[in-house]
Amino acid sequence: MTRILTYGTFDLLHWGHIRLLERAKSLGDELIVGLSTDEFNAIKHKESYHSYEHRKYILEAIRYVDQVIPESDWSQKIEDVQKYDIDIFVMGDDWAGKFDFLKSYCEVIYLPRTSGISTTQIKTDLENN
């Protein structure tokens, strides 16, 4: 069984998120999503529209996602890779190179982001309306 791990905030879920999760899942048998907690978002100076519990509920309903785990700090990735016996770590290519330190534990793949959509763009559009 090939296990995939990705991380994110997944707030204001859109088709770009779904496409990323679909492509990540296609690389293996089980997709685990590390979802940023509200407390971790505060440390990152990010504010989500939806609470952690609601974002987790939404992610768990997506057919590509097999398990959602909390992401509570930057340093937990190696531990999660080992704990969940991860074969492939996947992130969007805007993070290219940032997680190469995991290559000694698993394969690291950076997937292209879906063009034309982003949570930042949605928030900007909503503010301008």
**Which residue numbers are catalytic?**
44, 46
Count of CB atoms situated within 10 Å of the CB of 79: 10
Q: Is 127 helix (H, G, I), strand (E, B) or coil?
A: helix
Q: Which residues of 11-36 are buried (b: 16+ CB within 10 A; e: fewer)?
A: bbbeebbebbbebbbebbebbbbbbb
Angle at 103 between CA 27 and CA 99, to 5 degrees: 90
Distance CA 9, CA 31 (A): 16
Q: Do 4 and 21 meet the contact criterion of CB atoms below 8 Å apart?
A: no
